[in-house]
Amino acid sequence: MKKGLVVFMCFGLLLVFASPAFSQDTLQTQKSTESFMIDNFNSEGENGWTWDVSASRYVADGYPKKGYFDGIPNSLKYLLKDGKDNQKVLGVQIAFKRKGDNWFEVYPVKDGKAYEIPFVGSVTQIDFWVWGAHYMYFLDVIVRDADGRVHVLPAGNLAFDGWRNVVVSVPGWIRQHSRSSSGRDAMSFIGFRIRTSPEEFVDSYTIFFDQMKYVTRALANIFDGYELKEADFGNSEGK
């Protein structure tokens, strides 16, 4: 019995000391998290894209409207060391001709076309501030995974007044990195979708966005030899 215990302990110690030296670095890489800013909405086109709005069929004439306005959530003012007078937010105003299943989407645009913002690493949550007008509307975040499938992530209702910080968790089952060499490198952000409750007023509604960022394990998909993934065999000699 004692002999067997000694053999088991020796085997355990062998596994510990025989582990590759880089295994700890790999573990830390997978756990390392960073926060990336997508857009602080302080100026149009600052990040290489702008924002546009589209709406369902019963949108009222002259809508939607969008623009940048002076402002920032009070909770963020105390985090600013400078530039307090240059803070702006993105605003959208919408109206529909009748109640029902109406919706509108706010999405990035680049070179005159809808643009999907690529994420870095493996995203765990998307974080932004939204200004609600106490209407029973529902907010969704739309993303596209590495296999090209679109996912709608519920972000709650907008039945509150003023600014609120919204944090949307990204489910682990969403594939963020394609196993195919010709697949997409990362998940991407498509836009926001706001849906009206069928019984809610639709004569005029205003919403604002600010400080959109995300938390990610930025190095989760980096491995030893990652640079060879993009090796160009175009000028190589074949047999």
Instruction: Please report the pLDDT score of residue 237 as a whole number.
Output: 67
Residue pair 150/82 in contact (Cβ under 8 Å)? The answer is no
Beta-strand pair 122-133/137-144: unpaired
Q: What distance in Å separates the CA atoms of residue 160 and residue 136, rounded to the nearest whole number?
A: 9
Q: What distance in Å separates the CA atoms of residue 234 and residue 63, rounded to the nearest whole number?
A: 51
Beta-strand pair 50-55/188-196: unpaired
Instruction: Please report the pLDDT score of residue 7 as a whole number.
Output: 47
**Residue 83 — pLDDT band, cuts 50, 70, 90?**
low
- Ranking 89-98, 173-182, 207-216, 230-239 by mean pLDDT, the lowest is 230-239
Rg (C-alpha) for the chain, rounded Å, is 24
Instruction: Please report the pLDDT score of residue 44 as a whole number.
Output: 85
Q: What distance in Å separates the CA atoms of residue 98 and residue 120, rounded to the nearest whole number?
A: 41
What's the pLDDT tens digit per position in 152-184? Answer: 999 999 999 999 999 999 999 999 987 765 556
DSSP reduced 3-state for 182: coil
Q: In this predicted model, which residue has the larger pLDDT, 82 or 215?
A: 215
Beta-strand pair 113-114/137-144: unpaired
Distances (CA, A) of 185 to 100, 106, 127, 222: 39, 24, 22, 12
On the question of pLDDT at 207 being above 50, the answer is: yes
- Ranking 40-54, 59-73, 141-155, 224-238 by mean pLDDT, the lowest is 224-238
**Residue 29 — pLDDT band, cuts 50, 70, 90?**
very low
**Residue 127 — pLDDT band, cuts 50, 70, 90?**
very high
Residue pair 107/114 in contact (Cβ under 8 Å)? The answer is yes
- Ranking 21-35, 39-53, 162-176 by mean pLDDT, the lowest is 21-35
**Tokens at 35, concatenated:** 């926060």
What's the pLDDT tens digit per position in 4-21? Answer: 544 445 545 544 444 444
